[in-house]
Structure 1
Amino acid sequence: MNKLDKVLYTARAHTTGGREGQSRTDDGRLDVQLSSPGGAGTGTNPEQLFAAGYSACFIGAMKAVAAKQKITLPQDLSVDAEVDLGPVGQAYGIAVRMNIHLPGMDTASARQLVDTAHQVCPYSNATRGNIDVQLNVG
């Protein structure tokens, strides 16, 4: 297990009702209704929140790597994250596909940047060896 050298930030959320409930952060910046995937509710679900969080974090990691390596990133870079939910034996698990768009970058440079960002990203480090994560560059 990796231990933090120093805590830079702590996110706090209060959730009630599980997948059919509500979640809000202590600072009030996030306040969402939750619904099960494919259910009748109008809220989001944990897999959608994970997809949004992971993709945003991954872009941050790419920006950090690019700054260190003095690489200019495309202004219109984006990540489309897909999070699958399904059974794993008697339990449930997730799998992730990150579809990374770096318009104008040559394929080799984009792949190297993505692979390095995958080593830096906190979400990638948290999931490594636990779930299937595919990084598609295109």
Structure 2
Amino acid sequence: MKSIEKVLYTAVVETSAGGRDGVARSTDGRLDIALSSPGTSGTGTNPEQLLAAGWSACFLSAIRLASQAMKVELPADIGMTTNIDLGTNDDGYQLQAQLQVRLPGVPREVAQQMVDIAHASCPYSKLSRGNIDVTITIV
């Protein structure tokens, strides 16, 4: 495992003792959300949705960096859908992810290269590597 040589940003979030049914607030005040367990009638979000949002944002930024390095212009309507599944196995709770990347108008081979570069460089992908099942599809 490689250590960080230079910290660029530190997110600090405090979560109440309610955990999945609590509140999460960032110390800078930009995040202040209610949390609810998945599948309940609560009005808050859940950690799986937050992970999907963060991973999608990071992955799309990594695709943009890859496209710049490859000198490929991306269409304005790129996007992705990220599914985070929470389930169980004989070890207890487990996550898995499906990333569906939309790169309309980009030739399939070029799109695959960008996705491969993004998956190699995105910190969320690095975090998941070898830890959970991840499926990436270009749609």
Which TM bucket (shorter chain)?
over 0.9
Which whole-Å CA distance do the structure 2 matches of 1:12 and 1:70 have between them?
A: 36
Corresponding position of 2:114: 113
Equivalent position SS for 1:114: helix
RMSD after superposition? 0.8
Corresponding position of 1:7: 7
Scaled by the length of structure 1, the TM-score of the pair is 0.97
1:73: Cα distance to partner? 1.1
Which whole-Å CA distance do the structure 2 matches of 1:37 and 1:80 have between them?
A: 18
Corresponding position of 1:76: 77
1:2: Cα distance to partner? 2.2
Give the unaligned 5+ runs of structure 1.
none
Which whole-Å CA distance do the structure 2 matches of 1:27 and 1:64 have between them?
A: 28
Q: Does 1:34 align with 2:27?
A: no
What letter is aligned with 2:107?
D
1:70: Cα distance to partner? 1.4
1:71: Cα distance to partner? 1.4
Scaled by the length of structure 2, the TM-score of the pair is 0.96
1:8: Cα distance to partner? 0.7
Equivalent position SS for 1:8: coil
1:70-111: CA deviations, max 9, x gaps?
A: 111111000100000000214101000000000111111111
Between the aligned residues of both structures, percent identity stands at 49
Count matched residues: 138
